[in-house]
Chains A and B, each alone.
Chain A
Amino acid sequence: MLRYLIKRILLMVPLLLGITVICFFVMHLAPGKPTDLQTQMNPKASAEMKQRLMKLYELDKPVHLQYWSWLKKLSRGDLGTSFSSDHRPVADKILERLPITITINVLSLLIIIAIAVPIGVLSAVHQDSLFDKITAVIVFIGFAVPTFWLALLLMIFFGIHLGWLPISGLRSLNYEYLSTWGQLTDLARHLILPVFISAFGGLAGLSRYMRANMLEVIRQDYILTARAKGLSERQVIYRHALRNALLPAITILGLSIPGLIGGSVIFETIFAIPGMGQLFYMSVMARDYPVVMGILLIGAILTLAGNLIADVSYAIADPRIRIS
């Protein structure tokens, strides 16, 4: 097991290097430089000043040399300094926002599991029942709904029409004056819509996947054996079938992580949540290369880590894989 883990982690290194090479070159070869944005509003900016800025940001060197120096800094754990006017270290800027994004994504993963697994199991066990048909329609529509549109509708309905939930930010204006309990409920109220929206995309996929798995599993011989032994239907479904159907779903959860992280750009922008996705959007708009590179790198690491955790838990859960 340990050897497998080490091998997997070592394999991640070339993959990560490949990702950074692609990102770096695509970004730097694209027309338009950060210095254009910073100088175009200033009529006094001369060509010479632009050159000085380019030199300051090391943008005057060939791309491969820039990449090399980025990589050297990275090996010391340094992600560089932001181009924006605060000139703060990229790592600081990202780290202060990462917990928010991770919290929302973990919460939505939990919600996805809590809702999608029972739906998938029930619709497989009661195949072609009314419940199965209704959930099939909902799941099908769930695949097609643009999440940002759903977010808008929920904001209009719950936020404006009913006035039940806040529609932007993480804290109310009077947050400082609330009791600890009040602060917690305030935070929770702000999180309901973003977490639901972020979970929504994964719900349809996982419940459909669970249903398909379950349908396959309950046709296996060992289920027939369990029934033949005289076990109750409950035991057959929840002890014997569910465990086996859950296994492949672990992988699907691992694979859904890039989608969740990518989606955080959209919902953090809509709900004005100060997370990594919002930082990414603002940095991309300002052509803040170091921050964009840093977030792409962290997004890739999170994705790879998610896949690794999925594979490892699969191996732990399934003895057949553990042995081979």
Chain B
Amino acid sequence: MASRIFAALTRDEGSSDTDESPRREEPSVRTDGGTVTDGASDATTAAVGDDASALGRLRRSRFLESLPFWGPPALLVFFFVYGAIAWNFVISLTGWEGLGSPDYSSLSTEMYARLLSDPSFTAAFRNTLVLLLAFTVLSLILGLLVAILVDQKIRIENTFRTIYLLPMSLSFVVTAIFWSWMYNPTNGLINEALRGVGLDAFTQAWLADPQFKLAAIIFALMWQFSGYCMVVYLAGLRAIPESQYEAARIDGASTIKLYWRVIIPQLRASTMSAAVVLVVFALKAFDFLFVLFGVNPGQSADILSVMMYRVAFDRIQWAYGSAVAMVLFAMTLGVIGPYLYVQYRRGEL
């Protein structure tokens, strides 16, 4: 139905257009609406048959031909994703609080000014950055190490791979409760293990002491996601031809040198894609914290996504929550943007 309407539209425009082109007669010209238009133009005037060249090109263009495929999803995405983001931005400029309706008549950046003077935002922002960097870098390093070890043609490699990847498949809710048991200061496994080897001095109230809270969370998240890094790196390692290892060996490179100079530099693409996924997960680590601490993790472990939820849904300060969400969005964009640009430059997009 859509194509018929489209055909009718182009026909109308075609008849009003005076810039005619003889090439229109070529029988090889077929577009998606072609069946109808051809018939219609045959039945009407020759002027329509001799269509405008610009229009002809337009109708032959892949853009319009592919429109039915990407058009509807693009429309949905634009409306529900980008439209929602834009609306969220507008809300962040209002002063919307409580259960009434937002007042769009007076927009200001007051909420953003308030963010800058809010100590809990400063803390959440700092924690988010720390979490982002530490979690991503450490997970990548750990994943790479494990991948290199698993790649050593060991026996039951598949079993190891599954074991390392399993935590990734668990939900944050499960791992959060699991780690709250692990970290329990009196009977948790971590402190028990420390006591077992005589390191009583190192036992801590991991999730209560503000000094260790964030580190404990980063460690738990690392446990969950380094398996994912391992799989990505393993795929990267498998793509490197065996001959390179041999050549390096023949040249007398030590194992460390082999990996440092030859193998790891070739894993840049793996690192990139794993890092982007990790960063996005770090920004969304909401579930983990929410299960552990509810909406108030305290300033030592608060992150922006938890703060956003707390402000918007616990305090019903929608505009302020929207402002936090925009900061979070900008951070995500700051990570994804360069990645997409690099991909684009390389022609991989």
Partners in one complex: no
Q: Which residue numbers of B lie inside 8 Å of A, CB to CB?
A: none
Q: Which residue numbers of A lie inside 8 Å of B, CB to CB?
A: none
